[in-house]
Amino acid sequence: MLTWRRSRPDGSEPAEGDVDGGRGAEPACPVRGEAGAGRPPAAPPAGDRPPGTADLAAAGEFLKLFYLENPQAGSIRPRVREVRAQIDDTGTYTHTPQELAYGARVAWRNSSRCIGRLYWKSMRVRDRRHVDTPEGIAVESVGHLRESATRGKIRPTITVFAPERPGVPGPRIWNEQLIRYAGYRRRDGTLLGDPRNAVLTEAVRRHGWRGGPGTPFDVLPMVVTGGDGRTLLATIPGDAVLEVELSHPSYPWFAGLGLRWHAVPAISNMALEIGGVRYPCAPFNGWYMGTEIGARNLADADRYDMLPVIAERLGLDTSSERSLWRDHALVELNVAVLHSFDKAEVTISDHHTESRRFLTHLEREELAGRVCPADWSWIVPPMSGAATPVFHRYYDDVQLSPAFVHHADGLPSGI
């Protein structure tokens, strides 16, 4: 069943604004940062350059790549002179809308831990570089969620906010994803909701969030810091939270477990680096691969840990690992995820199809003469890995630019 989250009557919501656009607007990937162990590399140090200062060498390398892959752009020489002059005068430079869109898409193409890169050219780029206030970022992030999930059809989308500049830090979103479920620690030591978000939940409650209805799937507010240093807690309106209630095609009791998951995996705590310029706030999404939800988020022992519950309802022998009760329960949970998203007509992919698509992407990249970076431990699905074609080969795990990189720090000191 497809549902749109209903907002709490007393919840504060970002003020409505022009979520369509603003100046300079350009007319999934199952990103495995959702629940996997480890994470993409932290941003490399800037050396002796002051924060926000663009690296001239990195700018040159990016421009070479842009003009090589976009010959219709003309001669590179005038643009190189222009960029060099901007860096000499201001310490940084401004990407053209075409450079920004290309750089964002190539950053996805270069994401070694993403299996769903076949459609990297289709990513929609929302140019919001003029937005740097926490209120504006909250409004545009809500717009991102609405626009990327029209009638359940998930479209890969990125919204790029103001870059870092010398002496002017860029804005930040501190949540891992725009939509995250709260994890409430109870007095008896147990936890309600998603344990992964327990620290963030405690932090936002200390700073004014009164909590949701008290379910395992209460949506956390966004924690947004603007370029001016102000931090805002912004409740996400219910009509921006597309969720799917889970049921099973063969077991009617499954719906009674009350499981659900949101449809748009919008990564929000990574920086986009293009040609020596860093955009610290650039939320992006693809669509889910079923195992991200069914084999990790709802199944991991340190997340929702649903396998023992499902095994008991299935009547499985859990007294011995040799009964493979975990495997049986895991398959049924993943069947429920795919069935429910399909029934609700919400975009999702299965791990067998996505594995074949990745090898198609790999072949295309090799034919284009490009290296396709891939981290085997992330590309191979977390269920039935050996039954997928991506399992049976090695990959080049190299870091290329443009790229999405993690910030090195955690929550701001005021949260």
Q: Tokens 């034919």 correspond to what residue? A: 367
- Out of 32, 113, 117, 172, pick the active-site residue: 117
What is the strand order of the sheet 260-262 is part of?
Answer: 2-4, 242-245, 260-262
Question: Active site residue: 164, 176, 292, 365, which one?
Answer: 292
In whole angstroms, give the CA distance from residue 204 to residue 223: 8
Decide if 117 is catalytic: yes
**Residue 135 contacts residue 19 (beta carbons within 8 Å):** no
Give the active site residue among 32, 108, 114, 196: 114
As a residue count, the chain comes to 415
The catalytic residue among 209, 261, 287, 325 is: 287
Count other Cβ atoms within 10 Å, centred on residue 279.
Answer: 26
What is the rounded CA–CA span in Å between residue 335 and residue 348? 12
Active site includes 281? Answer: no
Round to the nearest angstrom and report the end-to-end CA distance of the chain.
36
Which residues are bridge partners to 233 per DSSP? 223
Please say whether the beta carbons of 162 and 23 come within 8 A.
no
Q: Does residue 6 carry a catalytic annotation?
A: no
Instruction: Report CA 311 to chain centroid distance, whole Å.
Output: 31
What does the block give as tokens for 371?
């290296």
For residue 129, indicate whether it is catalytic: no
Question: Where in the sequence numbering do the catalytic residues fall?
Answer: 114, 117, 287, 292
